[in-house]
Amino acid sequence: MMEWTDRHCRSFHRALTTEAVLYTEMVTTGALMHGDVPRHLDYSQDQHPVVLQLGGSEPNDLARSAELAQQWGYDEIDLNCGCPSERVQRGAFGACLMAEPKLVADCVKAMQNAVDIPISVKHRLGLDSMDAANSEKDYQFALDFIMAVADAGASQVTIHARNAVLKGLSPKENRSKPPLRYEVAAKLRLDAQKQFPNLKVLLNGGLESNDQIAGHWHDFDGFMVGRAAYHFPAMLLGWDDMINTNGDAAGYLFSETEWHRIQIALVKQVQSWFDECQAKGKPFYIGAFTRHILGLAHGRAGSRYWRQRLSDHHALAKVQSKAAILDFFIDASLTLGDWAAFDFESA
């Protein structure tokens, strides 16, 4: 998610789950061909496995971007053919690429020929007024797209199980107004795997709880969760058990012990980033990290003060030492009752 799942967000999420695969925000080929490559690709090594999601439609640029991704140590490359924003459309990539399966296949081939790491594609169920649930033609459109990218060498596709409306709906409306068709996505997986049995098909769109994910566990090879994981990050605490029990363990316990473990991990991550900024002569601002963790104490008594402190720009700007980082997190936790105190020194 652009401007959301940056390197700091991913480090935070890795403190909650060791098994889940993390995805970057979408990075355009133009940003890598003509921009600041370290700014877009640098990350901390604690994030693996981590996937670079690319936006683009020119095979040669995507191949070069893929080479950069491999050089920077990313574990996989994901081509975004699902973003419906008009700004992305003007760049001739995102969801509008679903109308050009041959071009997407050429892009996949170019990347696969350039690197050794896997290539995946994220896409929508269809475009505009298509109805893959009731129209054989529209269903075939979606299946043909999957078959084309699989034949080109994609090892995985992620289906956002609703249409992308390219004109008339905002990106936000595109995440809610087109109806979700999980049953169609599940059927596409079965049909695609008849010809490509090793192709992994993941589900995306409208997944808001671990119980909901568990309900679809055996219909897909994995799940991509975006906004729910961002706004209610505690759900990630159940993911390792879900993965290791094949979907049977959907619950999780967010205990005082877990809270303290995560707090200590956060302090260490931010202190490590502070050291990096010092070494590279870059400005340090703790708010670049704290903006991603506002939802961690969701539902907990005292969480309002937690969110206020993490959003107080005057207080954030004053945090300019490793000791101040620790003091800031301790202060932010003051109203969280039994959860407040954590022993950083003995960790």
Cis amide linkage into residue 49, ω under 30° from 0: yes
Residue 232 DSSP class = S
Does residue 228 carry a pLDDT above 70? Answer: yes
Give the type of residue at 68.
L
- What pLDDT, in 10s, does the model give residues 173-184? 877 788 999 999
Does residue 253 carry a pLDDT above 80? Answer: yes
User: Once rounded to an integer, what is the mean pLDDT over residues 116-142?
Assistant: 96
What is the structure's pLDDT at 69?
97
Does residue 299 carry a pLDDT above 80? Answer: yes
> Greater confidence, 43 or 337?
43
User: Once rounded to an integer, what is the mean pLDDT over residues 313-339?
Assistant: 92
Supply the residues annotated as catalytic: 83
Does residue 166 carry a pLDDT above 50? Answer: yes
Full set of structural domains in the chain with CATH: 7-233 (3.20.20.70), 256-339 (1.20.120)
Q: In percent, how much of the chain has pLDDT > 90?
A: 80
Residue 223 forms beta bridges with which residues? 203
> Greater confidence, 252 or 269?
269
Map residue 298 onto helix, strand or coil.
coil
pTM above threshold 0.85? yes
Does residue 36 carry a pLDDT above 50? Answer: yes
Q: Of 143-157, 246-260, 307-321, give the lowest mean pLDDT range.
A: 246-260
CA-CA distance, 266 to 236, in Å (whole number)?
15
Contacts of residue 298, defined as CB under 8 A and 6 or more positions apart, other chains included, come to 231, 232, 234
User: Once rounded to an integer, what is the mean pLDDT over residues 239-257?
Assistant: 90
Does residue 293 carry a pLDDT above 90? Answer: yes
Q: Of 65-79, 142-156, 331-345, give the lowest mean pLDDT range.
A: 331-345
Contacts of residue 151, defined as CB under 8 A and 6 or more positions apart, other chains included, come to 105, 196
Map residue 242 onto helix, strand or coil.
helix
Contacts of residue 39, defined as CB under 8 A and 6 or more positions apart, other chains included, come to none
As given in the structure block, the two tokens for residue 85 are 């924003």
Does residue 169 carry a pLDDT above 90? Answer: no
pLDDT interval class at 300 (50, 70, 90): confident
What is the structure's pLDDT at 90?
47
- What pLDDT, in 10s, does the model give residues 185-202? 999 999 999 999 999 999
Closest by CA position to 16, among listed 243, 283, 330, 173: 243
CA-CA distance, 221 to 218, in Å (whole number)?
7
- What pLDDT, in 10s, does the model give residues 47-97? 999 999 999 999 999 999 999 999 999 999 999 998 766 554 445 667 889
What is the structure's pLDDT at 92?
60
Please report where in the chains the tokens 């996989």 appear, as a residue. Answer: 76
